[in-house]
Amino acid sequence: MAGGRHSSAGQERGGRSPGFYAVCAAVVLGLVASVVVVVHAVRSWADDCDQVTDYTLAADPSIVPALSSILGEAKDTDLGCANVAVSAATSGDVAGRLGKGTDAPDLWIPDTGAWVGKAALTAAGPVEVMTGSIASSPVVLASREEDAPTSPTWLAALQIKDIQLGNPLVTGVAQAPINAALAEGQADPVSAGTVRAALVPLAQEESARTADEPIGEEMLQVVVDNGGVAVATEQSVLEFSDGDGARTLTATVPPTGSNFMNFPLVVTSPAPDRHYRATQVARAVAAVLGGEEARAVLAESGFRGPDGSPQADGRGVGRITKLGLEDESALQDALGGWALMALPIRTLVAIDVSGSMETPAGNRSRMDLTVDAALAGNAMFPDSVSAGLWAFSQGLGGGPQDYKEMVPIRRYDTVVDGLTQRLLMAQQAGKVDGLIGGGTGLYDTTLAAFRTVQETYDPRAVNSVIILTDGANEDPDSITKEQLLSILQREMDPARPVIIVTIGITGDADAATLAEISRVTAGSSYVAKDPADIANVFVNALAARGRS
C-alpha cells in the first residue's frame, strides 16, 4: 500500500512535514511496562485529507508488530484522515486505565474479548466492540521438543511441575488454561472446585514473586534456556522460533482442545464527541485490517484468521476443538479466588487512641484487646505482607492533624536498623496505649490514610486501609461525613483500587457510618460487639480483604 505511516503527537495537525512521534503508556494492576511503537510519519502530497487527526490504539504486544506494518503503510484517507499511533500494553493494564479515562486509548485490541465486559464495568466512558476478531491464535503448551508434555486435559496441564502460566489478572493467555479446564468439566458440579484447587500452588507462587513474571518472548526464552513448559499462543511460538534450531520450541495442545485468543477491535475513547469520531476511524481501521494484504501480514506473523482455521502452510498445531464456557461467571469466580491467593496484603492499620479506648472490657481495656488483635494478625501473616501502623485521635499529630505515623508501610521481611518490619510493628503496637487521650478524629484520618496508600500503590498487592475505632468522629474541625464519602468516591481509581476495611470496637462504634465508608471503596465493615472478639474479627478482616 502507498501512503503515509502513522504516528501520534496527541493533537490535530494540518501540516505535511515528516517527523517522529511517540505515545507512552503507563502500567497499573500488575504489573508490565507498556511499550510504545513509533511509526515514522511520511505524509503523501497526493492524499485528499485537509486535516489529519491523531488517534491512539493500545494493543496486545504480540500483535503490535503486524499492526504497525499494516497501518504504517495505509493512506491517511484509508484510515478516515487519521494518524493511528500503535502502543503495546497488556490487556489487564488497559482494562485498568479505562477506569481513569484521562489516559485511555481511543482504540484497543486486547488479546481476548473477555476483557471487554470486565473493562466496561469500570470504564469512564463507553466501551464498544467494533470487530469481534481481527485475528486468532490457540493457546498452547510451549516446550523443548524433548520436554513436550502429554497432558490429557488442561486440568492436568495446570498441575505440570513448575509450569509457567503467567498472571491471569494481566493477560488472557494466562487465563486461557483456567477457562479451558473449567470448560472441560462444566457438566460436572465438582469440577470447578478441582480447578480452583489446582490453582492454589500457582497463585501462592505468584504471591511469593518479587518481580513481574516474564511474558511473551521473555517467557519462551526461559524455556529455551532452562527447559520446562510455558503457556503461550501458537502465534508466539511460531514467531519466536528462528528456524536454525537455536530458538526452536514445540507447541502441543491437550486432545480436549484449547481456548483461542481472538483480538477484537474496541472503541474506548471516553469523551462522547471523541468517541463518535474514534468510531468512524475504527470502522476504517477494521476495513484495512480485513483486507487481503493485511490478512497476509497477520498470517506471516503466525496468526490465524478470525475463524480459527489452521495455518495454510501446515505450521502450528493444526485443527483443534475450541473450548469455551457457557457461563463466564465460573471463570470470574476462579480469577477472584486467584486474586485473593496471589496478591499479597498491603495495608495501613490505623488504631483509635481516643480517650474512650481506656473503657474497661472485662478485666482489661478496649485498647488492650485491640493491641492483642493487632499483634495476633502481625504474628500469623507471611513475609510477603506489607503493613504500616498509625495511631489517631484529635490533634495527635500536632495542630489540626489527627493521626501519627508509628511505622511506615514496608514488607515484613524488610530490615531497618537491625530489626525486621514485623518486629517493629509489634514494638510500636505495644506503645499506642501510651498515646491515649482526646476525641476520635475519624474522618480526617480515614481520608489521609486512603490517600497515603493510593499514592504509594503497589499493583502486585491488594492495597487497603484498616480502621479500628470504638466511636464516632468527634473532631469539630474535620471534614464532614458527606465530604469524606464524596471525596473517596471521586478519588477512587479503578486502576489503583484501595479498599477501606472498618472495624467497630463494641456497640459504641458508629457502625452505620463505618459501613458507609467501607461501601464506597468496595471494602468490608465489621463490628466486634464483644471486646473479646476483636482479635478474631481483625484477623478475619485481613484474610477476607478484597471481598465486598
Cα 308 versus chain centre, distance = 28
The 10s digit of each residue's pLDDT in 77-88 is: 999 999 999 999
So what's the pLDDT on residue 35? 36
In DSSP notation, 138-176 reads: EEEEEE-GGG----SSHHHHHTSTT-B---TTT-HHHHH
Show the DSSP H helices in 209-349 as ranges: 216-226, 234-240, 272-289, 292-300, 329-342
**CB neighbour class for 296 (10 Å; exposed up to 12, middle 13-18, buried from 19):** exposed
20-66 confidence digits (pLDDT tens): 222 223 323 332 333 333 333 333 333 578 899 999 999 999 999 99
Candidates 469, 238, 454, 183; CA nearest to 350 is 469
Q: Is the model's pLDDT at 539 over the cut of 80? A: no
Cα–Cα dist 345/412, whole Å: 11
Helix (H) or strand (E) holding 388: strand 386-392
How far apart are the C-alpha atoms of 105 and 382, rounded to whole Å?
38
Set of cell numbers at residue 263: 483480538
The class (CATH top level) of 53-338 is alpha beta
Model confidence at 307, pLDDT cuts 50, 70, 90, reads very high
Do residues 395 and 441 lie in contact, with contact meaning Cβ atoms separated by under 8 Å? Answer: yes
Q: Where are the domains of the chain?
A: 53-338, 343-546
Query: What per-residue confidence (pLDDT) applies to 45?
Result: 33
d(CA 344, CA 381): 10
Which of the two residues, 5 and 512, has the higher pLDDT score? Answer: 512
Arithmetic mean of pLDDT, 498-527: 90
When the pLDDT of each residue in the chain is averaged and rounded to a whole number, the result is: 85
Domain 343-546 carries which CATH code? 3.40.50.410
Helix or strand run (H / E) with residue 188: none
Task: Note the pLDDT tens digit of each residue in 62-78.
Answer: 999 999 999 999 998 99
Residue 246: pLDDT band with limits 50, 70, 90? low
CA distance 90 to 158: 22
Q: In the structure, what pLDDT confidence band is assigned to residue 541 with cuts at 50, 70 and 90?
A: low
Grid coordinates of 65 = 508488530
pLDDT of amino acid 413: 92
